[in-house]
Amino acid sequence: FVGNSTYLDDHGPPPQKVLPFPSQVVYNRVGKCGSRTVVLLLRILSEKHGFNLVTSDIHNKTRLTKNEQMELIKNISTAEQPYLFTRHVHFLNFSRFGGDQPVYINIIRDPVNRFLSNYFFRRFGDWRGEQNHMIRTPSMRQEERYLDINVCILENYPECSNPRLFYIIPYFCGQHPRCREPGEWALERAKLNVNENFLLVGILEELEDVLLLLERFLPHYFKDVLSIYKNPEHRKLGNLTVTVKKTVPSPEAIQILYQRMRYEYEFYYYVKEQFHLLKRKFGLKSHSRKPRPRPEFFIPSPLETEEPIDNEEEDDEKWLEDIYKR
């Protein structure tokens, strides 16, 4: 107040907050693909950059009824912008329910490595405390908890066979019942959604490059993410989320898993190829290695980035604008 007049009398309405574009981002994180590390980073970044980080406590409900979809989309859409919403949930089509389609981001990893990480995490938790798994899977019987991974695969236990192994694709295919059936239909729809609705799908094996590109595409969310990630204090936090007691199945069991997950691998290699094209476009060199016979199991990839290379193909910002216009 100035004297008896208000700010409104003298100046009109207060200036509206200018929102960066995009101001609606959804990270429908795939389980056991580094998402807890990324969420730790997002908590720091949301404080630093002042965006609204909307997280969910629901970790085990990825498929929703039509009413649940409508309810969740309504809740997300009314969040204060700029927001970043994150939850383990299969792709939601906002425009189907009359909402503005947000920009999606996600990260995936080698499907067998993801499956193994989940298998042992459900049984033995991570370094944050071995009791962690008791809270997550309290009803798991002892004989199931100590079930040898090879027995599970070779004797075709439900946990180690389809449809349980068809896990990554539904996060991109969406909520349609056919998205949960291993096959070409779900695979093709997932690829289409990656092209049309996802700004970036990175691969965990090259996490530093994923973070670099996120910083480039969404600076008002991810500025300085790489320096925070490389900070030794944060590294300590990240190490707490490493799954314990992981063992490697026999080559025979791995081959069987690979066969069962052939659609997951087709999707993974498609995403990896797109990611590498994007890296090249923005001057990040992928490490040149001799092509290995597929599948590429248990070969650790260094999380490092080489010096950028010059790239004069087209204006980077224009390419970004084109993505947002779609």
Question: What residues are labeled active site?
Answer: 88
The pair of three-digit structure tokens given for residue 57, joined into one six-digit string: 């406590």
Find out whether 213 and 202 touch, Cβ atoms under 8 Å.
yes
Count other Cβ atoms within 10 Å, centred on residue 220. Answer: 16
* Helix axes of 111-124 and 262-281: crossing angle, nearest 10 degrees: 110
Sheet of 24-27: strands edge to edge? 52-55, 83-86, 24-27, 103-108, 198-203
Cα–Cα distance for residue pair 280/162, rounded to 1 Å? 36
Find out whether 191 and 272 touch, Cβ atoms under 8 Å.
no
- 198: which strand partners? 104
The pair of three-digit structure tokens given for residue 310, joined into one six-digit string: 């010059």
Find out whether 96 and 177 touch, Cβ atoms under 8 Å.
no
Cα–Cα distance for residue pair 67/85, rounded to 1 Å? 19
Type of residue numbered 78:
T
Count other Cβ atoms within 10 Å, centred on residue 229. Answer: 19
